[in-house]
Amino acid sequence: MIKNFSVLDDSQIQEYLNNKSLKIGIVGIGRIGLPTALSFANSGFNTVGIDINKKLVDMVNSGNYPLKDEPEFDKIFESVYNNKKITAITDISEVIPDCDVIILSLPTPMDDQNIPDYSALLTVGKNLNQLLSNGQIVIVESTVEPGFIENELLQSIEGHDRTIKSGIDFHLAVCPETANPGEIMNDFKKLPRLVGAIDEKISSIVSQIYKHVFGVELIQLPNCKTANAVKLTTNVFRDVNIAFVNELAILFDKLGIDTYTVINAAKHKYNFQAHFPGPGVGGPCLPVNSYQYLNSSKKIDPDLLKIIQHARKINEKMPDHVIELTSDAFKESNKSIQNSNILILGVSYKPNIKDIQLSPAEHIIRKFQNLGVNIHIYDPYFFSSEVFGIKVEENLDDILPKMDAVIIVTDHHQFKNIEISSFKKMKNPILIDTRGIFDPISVKHNNIIFRGLGRGNF
Ligand SMILES: NC(=O)c1ccc[n+]([C@@H]2O[C@H](COP(=O)([O-])OP(=O)(O)OC[C@H]3O[C@@H](n4cnc5c(N)ncnc54)[C@H](O)[C@@H]3O)[C@@H](O)[C@H]2O)c1
Query: 207-216, long-range: CB within 8 Å, 24+ apart, which pairs?
Result: 208/10, 208/13, 208/14, 208/17, 209/13, 209/17, 209/22, 209/101, 210/175, 212/17, 212/43, 213/39, 213/40, 213/43, 213/45, 214/39, 214/188, 214/189, 215/189, 216/188, 216/189, 216/190, 216/191, 216/192
Ligand 1 atom showing the smallest separation from residue 53 Cα: 37
- Would you tell me how many other CB atoms lie within 10 Å of the CB of residue 149? 27
Mean residue pLDDT across the chain: 95
pLDDT at residue 1 tops 80: no
Closest residue by CA, ligand 1 atom 10: 142
> Alpha-carbon distance 279 to 411, whole Å?
11
86 confidence band (pLDDT: 50, 70, 90): very high
> Alpha-carbon distance 171 to 195, whole Å?
13
> Alpha-carbon distance 234 to 114, whole Å?
20
Radius of gyration for the alpha carbons in the chain, expressed in angstroms and rounded: 24
pLDDT digit string, tens, across residues 12-61: 999 999 999 999 999 999 999 999 999 999 999 999 999 999 999 999 99
Nearest to 37 by CA among 9, 10, 14, 66: 66
Is 32 near ligand 1, meaning CB less than 6 Å away? yes
pLDDT at residue 2 tops 80: no
> Alpha-carbon distance 33 to 51, whole Å?
10
4 confidence band (pLDDT: 50, 70, 90): confident
- Would you tell me how many other CB atoms lie within 10 Å of the CB of residue 179? 21
Mean pLDDT on 384-403: 97
6 confidence band (pLDDT: 50, 70, 90): confident
pLDDT confidence of residue 331? 97
Query: 332-335, long-range: CB within 8 Å, 24+ apart, which pairs?
Result: 332/449, 333/428, 333/430, 333/449, 335/404, 335/428, 335/430
Asked whether the beta carbons of 203 and 171 are under 8 A apart, the reply is no
73 confidence band (pLDDT: 50, 70, 90): confident
Is 228 near ligand 1, meaning CB less than 6 Å away? no
CA–centroid distance, residue 229 to ligand 1 (Å): 19
- Does this model's pTM top 0.75? My answer is yes
Closest residue by CA, ligand 1 atom 38: 30
Closest residue by CA, ligand 1 atom 11: 142
> Amino acid identity of 333?
S
Nearest to 173 by CA among 137, 145, 197, 150: 197
Is 282 near ligand 1, meaning CB less than 6 Å away? no
CA–centroid distance, residue 415 to ligand 1 (Å): 29
Q: What's the first-to-final CA gap in the chain, in angstroms?
A: 70
pLDDT confidence of residue 181? 87
CA–centroid distance, residue 316 to ligand 1 (Å): 23
Ligand 1 atom showing the smallest separation from residue 178 Cα: 6
Q: Which helix (H) or strand (E) holds 432?
A: strand 430-433
